[in-house]
C-alpha cells in the first residue's frame, strides 16, 4: 500500500519550481507518492515532474476535475469531445511519469449543478470513461471515478451509484475512488460503502470534515480504516487538505476554500502521514483477533 499526499498541500503554483517543491516536501513528510493536480494536462510540465520524481525517489498519480467546457456528462457533444481529449492528454502525461492511477471528478464537471444528471449525459460519461480506461490500461494506468458530494457533481454522490456507473462503463476496468470528506456528507456511515465497493475500490482520499487537520473534525476514521483492512484494500491512500494558505486559483474557488485552516504545510503533512500509517498499523492487528 502506498501512502500519498495531494500536491496542493504544498503549493498552488505548478511551474517547474512548484512541482519540485511539492515532490520534495511530500518526500520529507514521509509520503510514498504525490498526487499531481492535472487540471490542465496540456500545460503541465512533464519534464520537470519526471526529474523531480527521479531526484527524490517518489511515485506519482494524477487527478483532476473537468469544467463546463469539458463536461463529459453533458448532452453537448462538443463538450464531451473536449473532455475526452483532455482526459486522453492526462493519460499520456501520467504514462510519461510512470504513474499508475488517474482519478478525481473525471466523469463530469466539478461544480454545483442546478439540475439532476440526465440519462443521456450519464451514458455519454460512461462511454468516455470506458474508452479512457482502455487507453490508460495500455499504459498500465488504472482509472478511478471519485464519488463526491452533491455540491461538486450531480453524477456520483454515493458508492452505490459509483458501483452501478462503473458496471456500465464498458470494459470492467474502471475503478471506484472514495473520499472520506465526501462520504461524511453523503453516505449513511463510513464502513458499508467500502464493503459495497470491495471489488471496485482502487483509490482512496483521506480528508477531514472541514478539510483541515486529520482527527480534528467529525469524520469517523476508525470505521473507515477498519473497513479498508476488512476488504484487504491495497491501493493508494492519499491525504487531501485545503486551506486559503495555499491557493490554486480555479480549484480553490470551486471547492469553496475560503478559510485558513492551517498555515504550516510541513507540520500538517507530517501529521497526516503519521495519522494514516498509525491507523493502518493498528487496524492490521485485527488479523490476530
Smaller CB separation from Mn ion, 251 or 270: 251
Q: Which of residues 218-247 bind Mn ion (CB under 5 A)?
A: 240
Is 205 near Mn ion (CB under 5 A)?
A: yes
Q: How far is the CB of 88 from Mn ion (least distance, A)?
A: 22
Q: How far is the CB of 239 from Mn ion (least distance, A)?
A: 10
Smaller CB separation from Mn ion, 71 or 240: 240
Q: Of the ranges 47-55, 91-99, 178-186, 270-278, which one interacts with Mn ion (CB under 5 A)?
A: 178-186
Give the count of beta carbons closer than 10 Å to the beta carbon of residue 139. 15
Q: Of the ranges 70-78, 155-163, 184-192, 204-212, which one interacts with Mn ion (CB under 5 A)?
A: 204-212
Of 131, 124, 109, 144, nearest in space to 39 by CA: 109
User: Which member of 35, 67, 71, 179 binds Mn ion (CB under 5 A)?
Assistant: 179
Whether 240 sits among the annotated catalytic residues: the reply is yes
Q: For the stretch 64-88, what's the b/e string if a residue is b when 16 or more beta carbons lie within 10 angstroms of its beta carbon?
A: bbbbeebbbbbeeeebbebbbebbb
Active site residue: 35, 84, 146, 187, which one? Answer: 146
Q: How far is the CB of 152 from Mn ion (least distance, A)?
A: 9
Q: How far is the CB of 18 from Mn ion (least distance, A)?
A: 20
Is 101 near Mn ion (CB under 5 A)?
A: no
Is 142 near Mn ion (CB under 5 A)?
A: no
Q: Of the ranges 137-145, 175-183, 194-202, 218-226, which one interacts with Mn ion (CB under 5 A)?
A: 175-183
Indicate left, alpha or beta for 48 from its phi (over 0: left) and psi (-120 to 50: alpha): alpha
Q: For the stretch 168-183, what's the b/e string if a residue is b when 16 or more beta carbons lie within 10 angstroms of its beta carbon?
A: ebbeebbbbbbbbbbb
Q: How far is the CB of 179 from Mn ion (least distance, A)?
A: 4
Smaller CB separation from Mn ion, 20 or 205: 205
Residues 6+ apart with CB under 8 A from 273: 3, 5, 29, 30, 31, 239
Q: How far is CA 79 from the centre of its chain?
A: 22
Q: How far is the CB of 104 from Mn ion (least distance, A)?
A: 7
Smaller CB separation from Mn ion, 104 or 130: 104
Applying CB under 5 A, what is the total number of residues that bind Mn ion?
3
Q: Which residues bind Mn ion (CB under 5 A)?
A: 179, 205, 240
Which residues are catalytically annotated?
Answer: 146, 240
Amino acid at each position: 500500500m502506498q501512502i500519498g499526499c495531494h500536491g496542493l498541500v504544498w503549493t498552488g503554483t505548478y511551474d517547474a519550481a512548484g512541482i519540485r517543491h511539492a515532490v520534495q516536501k511530500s518526500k520529507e513528510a514521509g509520503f510514498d507518492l504525490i498526487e499531481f493536480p492535472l487540471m490542465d494536462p496540456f500545460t503541465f510540465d512533464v519534464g520537470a515532474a519526471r526529474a523531480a520524481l527521479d531526484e527524490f525517489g517518489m511515485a506519482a498519480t494524477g487527478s483532476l476535475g473537468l469544467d463546463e467546457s469539458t463536461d463529459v456528462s453533458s448532452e453537448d457533444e462538443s463538450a464531451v469531445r473536449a473532455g475526452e481529449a483532455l482526459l486522453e492528454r492526462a493519460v499520456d502525461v501520467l504514462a510519461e511519469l510512470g504513474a499508475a492511477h488517474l482519478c478525481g471528478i473525471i466523469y463530469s464537471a466539478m461544480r454545483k449543478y442546478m439540475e439532476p444528471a440526465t440519462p443521456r449525459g450519464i451514458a455519454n460519461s460512461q462511454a468516455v470513461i470506458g474508452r479512457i480506461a482502455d487507453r490508460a490500461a495500455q499504459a498500465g494506468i488504472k482509472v478511478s471515478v471519485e464519488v463526491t458530494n452533491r455540491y461538486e457533481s450531480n453524477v456520483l454522490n454515493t458508492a452505490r451509484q459509483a458501483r452501478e456507473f462503473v458496471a456500465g462503463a464498458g470494459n470492467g476496468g474502471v475503478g471506484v475512488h472514495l473520499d472520506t470528506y465526501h462520504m461524511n456528507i453523503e453516505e449513511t456511515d463510513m464502513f458499508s460503502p467500502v464493503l459495497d465497493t470491495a471489488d471496485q475500490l482502487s483509490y482512496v482520499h483521506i480528508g477531514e470534515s472541514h478539510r483541515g487537520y486529520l482527527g480534528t473534525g467529525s469524520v469517523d476514521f476508525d470505521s473507515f480504516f477498519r473497513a479498508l483492512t476488512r476488504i484487504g484494500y491495497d491501493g493508494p491512500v492519499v491525504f487531501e487538505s485545503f486551506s486559503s494558505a495555499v491557493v490554486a486559483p480555479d480549484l480553490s474557488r470551486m471547492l469553496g476554500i475560503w478559510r485558513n485552516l492551517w498555515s504550516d504545510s510541513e507540520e500538517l503533512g507530517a501529521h497526516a502521514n503519521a495519522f494514516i500509517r498509525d491507523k493502518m498499523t493498528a487496524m492490521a492487528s485485527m488479523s490476530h483477533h
